[in-house]
Structure 1
Amino acid sequence: MSFPAFLNTEIWANRGRLLAAVSALAVGACLSQFATLPASAQNFTDELAKQADPNAELLLEASEITYDFDRDLIVATGSVQVYYDGNTVQAHQIIFDRKSQQLMARGNVIFIESNGNVVRTEEMTLSEDFSEGFARALQIDTTRRTRFIAEQARRENDNVTTINNGIYTVYTKPTNPPNKPPLWRVRAEKIIHNQQEKIIRFEDAAFEVYGQPIAYLPYLSMPDPSVRRKSGFLMPSGIVNDKLGYGVTVPYYWALNPHYDATAALTPLTKQGLFGDVEYRHRFTFGQVSFSAAGLFQAQPGQFSTSRADERWRGAINSKASFNLAPDWTLGWNVTYKSDRAFFKDYSFTSFDDNGETSEIFLEGKSDRNALSVKAYAFQISQEDYSDSQFDANGFSPVGSSLQDKQPLVLPVIDYDYVFADPVLAGELALTANFTSLTRDETDAFSIDGGTTPRFRGVDGTFSRLTLKGDWRRTFIDPLGQSFTPFAYMRGDLFFLASPDADVLALTGESFVGRAMPAVGMEYRYPIIATFTGGNQILEPVAQVVVRPDEQRIGELPNDDAQSIVFDTSTLFDYDKFSGFDRAEGGTRLNLGLNYKLQLDNGYYLSGLFGRSYHLAGENSYSTPDILGATQDSGLAGDLSDYVGSLYLDTQYGVKLGAQARLDKDDFSFNRVQAQASAIYGPVVSSLAYAFLNAQPDVGIDSPREELLGSASLRLEENWRIFGSVRYDLENSNIVQDGVGIGYDDEGFSMSVSYAEDRSRNDGDSVNRTLYFRIGLRTIGSTQVSSGALN
């Protein structure tokens, strides 16, 4: 018998409480985030499922709805579906008992929450006030691909949910055999979720692998999903090292405030004592800042064979920050101080690193057409000191000197760029400004021939430079498709040098030095496009001429930011091929190149560029050495430069190839080569890199350097892989670095074991060996054990 009007009165009146109670039971049992303890830089992002809105509309669909007068039951039967406030309940039958005020869902019950969690059971019962409920054979699948399976689940006092004989795990692919146990799971006799205390407790729990228990946990507690952060211990990790001994890192997380927290870790080492590591983080509405510190009082410093052999106290501190002062302005820093150069290498498990040996403070502002940055740099190197008893050039011997004392303090570096919005003379005008000031405590000098010829990377004292530059250019394209781009720039530099070694270095005796460099030029391009069946190709000749006066005061001024001279196709058409502002290219120069591109419809892509540079008039800036002499082996020192070429190939089969080369102008022999190749073919992922640098005696490189670097990974089965890498010195016929390992990865578990050797460190050991073991459980955490310098 159908009673649609009565059904509206009874069920619609209770729809909010009904769905809220069903959701409460499901969410209480669904502990999808229970094992995601807050890590050092991780916060919870999942929240408790929202409560049902009592004003939301409810839709009930069923094949048949009847009313049993004798038992006072409302029964919906046959593919029953209830839609309410983003939630869905599906069952074969839903019964509402008006006498006991209980609702029962039976037969393949599926509850889909608005947050995506799916609850499956055969039968679910709710009490009259919906504060209590009961379900058997409950399974909960979450959006994070985690799963709870319970023999029974009960909700009491509208607050506490208890799961009996529960299992927590992660699930992977639906194709896995249904009766196959997961790789790992946590089984507990009882799981209790107290919403008032916001805590989840596991009683008589066990950690199982492939269905077999390997660790028993009599008691375990976790924060519930509504808690974004919770103080507690994090996953430990281990270390084995012949210089440090055995150790276990035990981290603890403090949720001090919604806006700041801290993580501290202690690592007792059997040979070196207690190692401490702490990090404090504070987040503001306009930015964030962190402070970190790590160190120890070494018990056996003699285990180390280099300068740190006598050091007791070793450690480092770091601070990072980024603040949004305004919509386009950012202030920040990343500053590290370490007690010695090798601290981060010897104690590699420290939670922070050495910033690539560079500490920085910065202020940056950007808009669509202009940018301003103010930065300061300090350098704390990791390279060990060296000595050359034969070098005594002009009184600057490195014997007994410290490389660290030769590092400059750069304060400040100011860069400003501005592009005019409106055309100037129908072209684009851009302004560039740079101010750099640096100070050294000791002159950085070296010899290229045993002491008779000195070279200087930098001089002691203070060196400052102000550079202003304006660039203009305009492009014309004629009816044939030829492109003509006239350009001009004007640059001015003002130098200030205060150095007690200025006279000894044969530098100018003037405190202030000015320099100007005007230039005009033209760039020509003519792309010729040919289309054929299956693709197209483009052949483009390029010519560029730059007319300038000679560079002034070559060899009389320091060169700190233009020391790297790399002449290849990426710099072939640069107006000024120096890498920084301390040098300014002069003289008239012609750059020629031929660009080729091939694109096939089946996915192949090939591009190449070949060219060279010609010095036409004036003094060649690259043939006259400055105080460093880095330009003489650049390939640009003659009127005819070396040849440069590049090639890039991308196939549809996962093979990519890229190469840059500089060929000698006289015999086409290679002076510099860089090549990289990567391939993905079936279960194999591989990469290969090759580098060659010919001898450069003018910068102290007496013999060629040639290395090969390769790595590969082979997938043995669906989840297993082996991998390895090698770095080989072809010139000296020895292995620089090598490593091999095996790993397992799926959606819930990862594990790898690797072994590596390193012969490149200058720390007194011929070979540094590292054994690394890592294991990770998704949603629970990861741990690792590393071993270094095993002999």
Structure 2
Amino acid sequence: MAVAVPSQTVRSTRAAAPLRGSLALRMLRCTALAGLTALAPALSGDLVSTSAHAQSGTLETLGATVDQSEPLLLEADELRYDFDRDLISANGDVQIYYGGNTVEANQVEFDRKQNRLRANGNVRLTEPNGNVLRASSMELSEDLRDGFVAALQLDTPQRTRFIADGARRENGNRTTFDNGIYTVYTRPTSPPGKPPLWRVRAATIVHDETERTVEFRDASLEFFGRSLVYLPYFSMADPTVKRKTGLLTPSAVVGDRVGVGVTVPYYFALDPNYDLLLSATPLSKQGLLTQAEWRQRLIDGSYSINVGGLIQARPGEYGTSSGNRRFRGVIATEGAFEINQRWKWGWDLSYRSDRAFLNDYSFADFGNASDISQIYLTGQSERNRFDLRSYAFRVSQEDYAAAATFNDPNYLPVGSRLQDKQPFVHPVLDYNYIFEDPIAGGELSLTGNLTSLTRDQTDAIRVGGTTRFRGVEGTFTRTSLRADWRTTVIDPLGQVFTPFAYVKGDLFFLASQDKTVGALTDESVVGRIMPAVGIDYRFPILGTFNGGNQIFEPVAQLIVRPNEGRIGELPNEDAQSIVFDSTTLFEYDKFSGFDRSEGGTRANIGLKYSLQFDNSFSMNALIGRSFQLAGTNSFKTADILDATRSSGLASDQSDYVSSLYFDSRQGFRIGAQARFDHDNFAVRRAQVEASGIYGPVTGNLAYAYLSAQPNIGIPTDREEVIGSASLRLQENWRVFGSVRYDLQSNNMVRDSVGFGYDDEGFSVSFAYSEDRSRNNGQTTDRLFFLRFGLRTLGDTQFSTNGNN
């Protein structure tokens, strides 16, 4: 196409050219090359020669001083170069790609004399870091680092937004917004055009990319367009910053015993690998609570240390409880380190001045502080696992005041100092190994355990005039090793036979134990061995029908072994919890730990049933029982605690156990387990749990029943209901609550209720809870909790607890 133009101007239609050099040079090159190509047929040879020669000289001069490594691509409907004003302009759908930056506008001009780029009309600048700036007009330096923007909106990859009448960028890193607004925006998947609930309006906003800070001057925090808080000045970390030294958002607390207080945290980002958080909470009744948290990441792991404490101004607020003292505090530390890909070690340790400190000052965060401290070493591969741990336990429960506090005179604790009854475990070692190659045609595995502990005081209770022992004073060590072998054979009919065998050996070391426990042996070293052989039989019968299938599976198991030796003569620390239900029916040894070993010949039988509909609900059921065929029944013979007589296994014909699970595959599930008495089919143990999602409602409901176990000091039945639910209102609102109710005593054990609002920029939640289960001398612990958060600005919380 031929175009008639004045001799000082070169013009072309839609052009695109990748070039190298300075921005001025590249735009000149792009204009010259594209323009000359378009105008060549219309211009005389002399004019073409003169223009080309002049431009060639200019290119050679500039090209000697510019970096040729950065490419530029310019696209526009029309390009112009005004030789008289030394002005390069691009008009119509202009797009410039330079150094990772993209500039889009209706018109772009480059003034070579001032080295300034001006963009007008629907300007959009996209930076390499993901920032997107929109404006009506923009003036930038040659390298796009500095400039001025009018009527702008800046969106960051962190979904934060700056809006201002104008902005100036200096030194390539400092941007000043005039009459600006800072807020957040939603994802594209959120409702388009949804306005944020909050924003910060300021006369001046300064964003320093080097210091990575945002400063606000003459600012106000607005909600729903109304100003709530005026702030003459405040600053925050850039939204890209995860760690920066500075003051964090304070939180408030109110309590009957502590008074009114505000927690003020200050964070020190000392190094990329370690930091420090200091907090101070002045309390109107108790003085100053101070806290410190140190965290450090090393090459092979990380660790943290938390300390906190205060000198109470009014310890009498805590009456005669353990909190009635001047100094109270806690120290806690945890760490985890990898030795190699398979081995790691670590610790989780805490110590506090008294048992009630964590509860009395529960509004404060003391890291990993808890009732259990441990040090561990673990290793694991595809076929073996090693776990070595040492434990120390601290109790939060108050000591028993007197026997008169117990309603049942047939159940009385012996001794009131609960902490002295807690053992130090030093250590407990578990080891598992599965041999890779078959042994005698089957799989062979080894299980080992070493437990050593010391207790300062015997933990005993008197039940109906008889003393039972949950733990014995002194040092107790036991090492155990068990070898298991099994193989599986399937016959042509589909019957599955699994013969198995195991042998378990134990060695007990009893040092300085309580000699008043008359049933215990006087020997210091005791050995014990338990061999067993058996077979497991299953015959799954599959039936299909249009739309689904069902499986009937009878299961039978026979285990032959000698009687258990030394019952009641040895301590029992880890086999006190006997749960006989559908999940343990086919366990070879139904004791929960190593201190007891089930003996005698036993048969376990059951029937499994499953129903499955294609793309629809499924159901699974099981019913069965266990039989003592020969030898001494380990669950009938009492040990020093006698925890087995109410297990359902004490008779030669056990209680019945059953389970039923239903899954609708549409959000609703229910499962139930029950144990029924072998004589009258009365319910001895039952548990039902249901969960579901229906529209905006999510809920969970559980029911548990345990019959009385008078032989271990539980004289009455226990029956509770636990439920929780959450209802989502509209898009972002939700209400929630939970209850725990004791059906036997008609008493609300715990309850809570609350509401919350959450969106991409703002969250708030309020909860109120009551707890009547703690033995701290209070009838009810009440807690009010309010949390308030603004994304990128931070969050704060307010809590208050009251006791009656």
When normalised by structure 1's length, the TM-score is 0.90
- The answer to whether structure 1 residue 401 and structure 2 residue 409 are counterparts is no
Specify every segment of 5 or more residues in structure 1 that has no aligned partner in the other structure, as ranges. Answer: 20-52
SS across alignment from 2:558:
strand
Aligned match of 1:266: 280
Query: Cα 1:158–1:742, aligned 2, differ >3 Å: closer, same or farther?
Result: closer
- Contact 1:388 1:399 (C-alpha < 8 Å) held by counterparts: no
Q: Offset of 1:182 from its aligned partner?
A: 2.1
Paired with 1:508 and 1:400, the residues of 2 have a C-alpha distance of: 23
SS of 2:339 mapped into structure 1: strand
1:773: Cα distance to partner?
A: 1.2
| 3-state secondary structure, aligned to 2:396 | coil
The structure 2 residue matched to 1:647, chosen from 645, 660, 679, is 660
1:632 paired to 2:640: no
2:13–2:77: 8 Å Cα contact kept in structure 1?
A: no
* Bigger relative CO (Cα 8 Å, ≥ 6 apart): 1
Matches of 1:566 and 1:579 in 2, distance apart?
8
Does the aligned pair in 1 maintain the 2:414–2:462 contact within 8 Å? no
For the pair shown, the structure with the greater C-alpha radius of gyration is 2
Q: Is the contact made by 2:15 and 2:78 (CA closer than 8 Å) also made in structure 1? A: no
**One-letter amino acid matched to 1:576:** D
Q: Which residue of 2 aligns with 1:536?
A: 549
RMSD: 2.7
**What amino acid maps onto 1:12 in structure 2?**
R
Q: Given the superposition, is the C-alpha separation of residues 165 and 564 from structure 1 closer, same or farther in structure 2, using an over 3 Å criterion? A: same
1:368 to 382, 390, 393: 382
The equivalent position to 1:212 in structure 2, one of 208, 213, 226, is: 226
Paired residue secondary structure (2:20): helix
Letter in 1 for 2:428: V
Distance, in Å, in 2 between the alignment partners of 1:86 and 1:586 is: 76
Q: 2:484 aligns with which of 471, 483, 493?
A: 471
2 CA distance for matches of 1:597 and 1:87? 62
Partner residue, 1:40: none
What's the counterpart of residue 741 of structure 1?
A: 754
8 A contact 2:698–2:726 mirrored in 1: yes
Change in Cα spacing, 1:153 to 1:414, as seen in structure 2 (3 Å) is same
Match of 2:473 in 1: 460
- Any idea what the Cα deviations from partners look like across 1:88-139, whole Å, max 9, x if unmatched? 4433333333343322333323333444433222322212354421112222
SS at match of 2:565: coil
Q: Which residue in 1 is equivalent to 2:441? A: 426
Kindly report which structure 2 residues correspond to 1:590-609, keeping only aligned pairs within 5 A, or say none: 590-609=603-622
What is the rounded CA distance, in whole Å, between the counterparts of 2:131 and 2:82 in structure 1? 34
Q: Give the alignment partner of residue 695 of structure 1, picking from 692, 708, 729.
A: 708
1:582 and 2:595 are equivalent in the alignment: yes
Distance change in 2, residues 1:516/1:54 (3 Å)? farther
* Secondary structure at the counterpart of residue 303 of structure 1: helix
Task: Out of 130-139 and 438-447, give the one that drifted further.
Answer: 130-139
Corresponding position of 1:188 = 202
Q: Does 1:239 align with 2:247?
A: no
Q: Could you tell which deviates more after superposition, 396-405 or 462-471?
A: 396-405
Look up the match of 2:430.
415
Alignment of structure 1 residues 236-315 onto 2, 5 Å: 236-308=250-322, 310-315=324-329
| Structure-to-structure mapping, 1:615-764, within 5 angstroms | 615-764=628-777
Equivalent residue of 2:322, what SS? helix
Deviates further, 541-550 or 142-151: 142-151
For residues 113 and 700 of structure 1, do their structure 2 counterparts lie closer, same or farther at Cα, with a shift above 3 Å needed?
A: same
How do 1:221-236 and structure 2 match up within 5 A? 221-224=235-238, 229-236=243-250
- Alpha-carbon separation, structure 1, partners of 2:24 and 2:68: 4
Matched, 1:152 2:166: yes
1:67 Cα offset (Å): 3.9
* Counterpart-to-counterpart distance in 1, 2:481 and 2:203: 75
Amino acid of the residue matched to residue 636 of structure 1? L
Counterpart residue number, 1:438: 453
Matched residues in 2 for 1:371 and 1:157: separation?
A: 59
Aligned to 2:341: 327
Assess if the C-alpha contact under 8 Å between 1:364 and 1:371 holds in 2: yes
The residue correspondences of 1:3-22 to structure 2 (distance < 5 A) are 12-14=20-22
- Identify the match of residue 344 of structure 1 among 358, 371, 377: 358
Which residue of structure 2 aligns with residue 126 of structure 1?
140
Amino acid at match of 2:378: E
AA aligned opposite 1:414: L
- State the match for 1:28 in structure 2: none
- Aligned equivalents of 2:351 and 2:495: distance in 1? 56
Q: Which stretch of the first structure deviates more once superposed, 706-715 or 561-570? A: 706-715
What residue identity is the alignment partner of 1:640?
Q
> Distance in 2 between the 1:198 and 1:16 partners?
31
Structure 2 residue matching 1:302: 3-state secondary structure: helix
Aligned residues: 751
C-alpha distance 215-697 of structure 1, shift in aligned 2 (>3 A): same
Equivalent-residue separation in structure 2 for 1:763 and 1:55 (angstroms): 74
Report SS of the residue matched to 1:552. coil
The answer as to 2:518 corresponding to 1:510 is no
Q: Distance in 2 between matches of 1:209 and 1:18?
A: 48
Instruction: Point out the more displaced range, 171-180 or 379-388.
Output: 171-180
Q: CA contact under 8 A between 1:387 and 1:398: conserved in structure 2? A: no
Say if 1:236 and 1:783, in contact at 8 Å, map to a contact too: yes
Q: Distance in 1 between matches of 2:351 and 2:90?
A: 72
Q: Aligned in 2, Cα 1:776/1:6: closer, same or farther, shift over 3 Å?
A: closer
SS in 1 for 2:359: helix
Q: Which moved more, 1:287-296 or 1:104-113?
A: 104-113
Change (3 A) 1:776 1:99: same
The structural deviation recorded for 1:400 is: 5.2
Task: Tell me the residue number matched to 2:578.
Answer: 565
Query: Could you tell which deviates more after superposition, 84-93 or 691-700?
Result: 84-93
The match for 1:488 is: 501
Cα offsets for 1:270-313 (capped at 9, x unmatched): 11111111111111111111111111111222222442253221
Whole-Å Cα distance in 2 between the matches of residues 560 and 178 of structure 1? 62
Q: Tell me how far 1:728 sits from its aligned partner.
A: 0.9
Q: Distance in 2 between matches of 1:85 and 1:426?
A: 68
Aligned equivalents of 1:167, 1:203: Cα separation in 2: 11
Offset at residue 374 of structure 1 (A): 1.4
Aligned equivalents of 2:436, 2:640: Cα separation in 1 = 41
Distance 1:75 1:540, change over 3 A: farther
User: Residues of 1 paired with 2:178 and 2:289: CA distance?
Assistant: 42
1:623 deviation in Å? 0.6
Name the CA shift for 1:524/1:179 in 2 (closer, same or farther; >3 Å): closer
CA contact (8 A) 1:568 1:662 kept: yes
- Return closer, same or farther for 1:114/1:541 CA change in 2, 3 Å cut-off: farther
Q: Is the 8 A contact 1:305 1:763 kept in 2?
A: no
Q: Secondary structure at the match of 2:766?
A: strand
Q: In structure 2, do the counterparts of structure 1 residues 136 and 97 end up closer, same or farther at CA, with 3 Å as the change threshold? A: same
**2:265 match: secondary structure:** strand
Residue type of the partner of 2:530? M
CA contact (8 A) 2:13 2:78 kept: no
The letter for the 1-side match of 2:397 is: Q
**Distance in structure 1 (CA, Å) of the matches to 2:168 and 2:609:** 72
Counterpart amino acid of 1:149?
I
Alpha carbons of 1:178 and 1:381: their partners in 2 closer, same or farther (altered >3 Å)? same
User: Quick one: percent identity of the two aligned structures?
Assistant: 58
CA distance in 1, matches of 2:251, 2:639: 52
Offset of 1:167 from its aligned partner? Answer: 1.3
